[in-house]
Amino acid sequence: MPTPDPKHSQTFVALGVTFADQVHSLFAGLRTRFDSEAAAVTDESSWKGLRDAWLGRKSGVLTLVTDNWLKPSSPELKRVVGASLNELRAHVDAQIEARRTSIEAGAEASARVKDRVDLSLPGVHRPIGSHHLIRQVFQDIEDIFSSIGFSVVEGPEIETPYYNFEALNIPEYHPVRDDMDTFYLDLPNGAPGPLLLRTHTSPVQIHTMEKCQPPVRVIVPGKVYRRDNPDATHSFMFHQIEGLAVDSDITFCDFTGTIDYFVRQFFGEGVKARFRPSYFPFTEPSVEFDASCIFCGGTGTAKAGGACGKCKGAGWIELFGAGMVDPAVYGFVNYDPKKVSGFAFGIGIDRLAMLKYGIDDIQVFFQNDVRFLRQFP
């Protein structure tokens, strides 16, 4: 059986409506129907359905009521229909707006519940990194020298031959340049040069003395470069800390006392330092400092018997080069060699770290294997 047309799709003639009472009951029926449909609206899409069904321009209930009931009705009924229709329209408008507000509020509330941060959840675990062992050793050494009045300064890794060699009393023909073969920069035609990656931190001695008058007490941590083939003790890049102290009355005793203090602070009170004659163009006299072997306690004998493998039975381990600043160097920075004296040293950080922590391959510092790095949190 076909569903009958709803009443608002038929005219009063077809419905047999002639009295005002009949009009009122028709509108009452419509209102009841609207109210039950509105009550069933729970979300945005059913709300849109309700709105279109009742307020749709072309075939919404109110449009059909206007077309089928109001427009064709007799002048006597028209007033009644008009008034009832206005009343119904006001009711429908108000209810549809009210439903919209309540649906939106409900959606917001449920979104809030969904997004609420649960503070009892365990949280995201972000592993915290740590300083690389080389950086830690830099820091230790900086702390030791800072505690006795040295400042930390830095200098460029790209140098001119003047700073890397000449001003350090290493003229062009000098044989020590052979040990310090390095990387020269490939410069564009016409650019002032040559430039090279510094082979040591010693050029910063010159920069510092050019900038400051004595007293000078600095240490210079940094990277240096040499054309060495990589093996267990060589790398084309490694780390040094340069030290420089210049004043009017610095003696050889101040020098050895300072280094002795450093060695004990760094390796432990029981470790002794000694020096042997050596040669560097920028110091005179030059020395090489050794520490009593930290592995065999300076005895030269391994715990299990036999010669200590680390110091090869000598009881001493070579640490770094140093010396009293050569007066020729003062000439390059306009210091008066008759009035000032001082000492300098150049500590290889990688070597010291390897000694202190028993690491036998310098390459592990640069391989970034976290299994190695994690051992030094």
* Interface residues toward ligand DAH, by CB under 6 A: 200, 202, 242, 280, 283, 321-323, 344-346
Q: How far is the CB of 336 from ligand DAH (least distance, A)?
A: 20
Q: 293 or 344: whose CB is closer to ligand DAH? A: 344
Q: How far is the CB of 243 from ligand DAH (least distance, A)?
A: 7
- The CA-CA-CA angle for residues 141, 237, 264, to 5°, reads 20
Determine phi and psi for 14, rounding to 5 degrees: -65, -30
Half-sphere exposure of 6 (CA within 13 A, CB side): 16
Q: How far is the CB of 266 from ligand DAH (least distance, A)?
A: 17
Q: Report yes or no: 332 and 167 within 8 Å, Cβ to Cβ.
A: yes
Q: How far is the CB of 215 from ligand DAH (least distance, A)?
A: 17
130 CB contacts (<8 Å, ≥6 apart)? Answer: 373, 376, 377
- The CA-CA-CA angle for residues 316, 241, 315, to 5°, reads 5
Q: 243 or 315: whose CB is closer to ligand DAH? A: 243
Q: 23 or 319: whose CB is closer to ligand DAH? A: 319
Stated as kind and residue range, the H or E segment containing 243 is strand 237-247
Q: How far is the CB of 322 from ligand DAH (least distance, A)?
A: 5
Q: 197 or 322: whose CB is closer to ligand DAH? A: 322
Q: How far is the CB of 315 from ligand DAH (least distance, A)?
A: 23
Of the candidates 24, 22, 6, 17, the residue with the CA atom closest to the CA atom of residue 61: 6
217 CB contacts (<8 Å, ≥6 apart)? Answer: 149, 150, 151, 244, 245, 247
Q: 54 or 345: whose CB is closer to ligand DAH? A: 345
Q: 99 or 351: whose CB is closer to ligand DAH? A: 351
CA 322/CA 262 separation, integer angstroms: 13
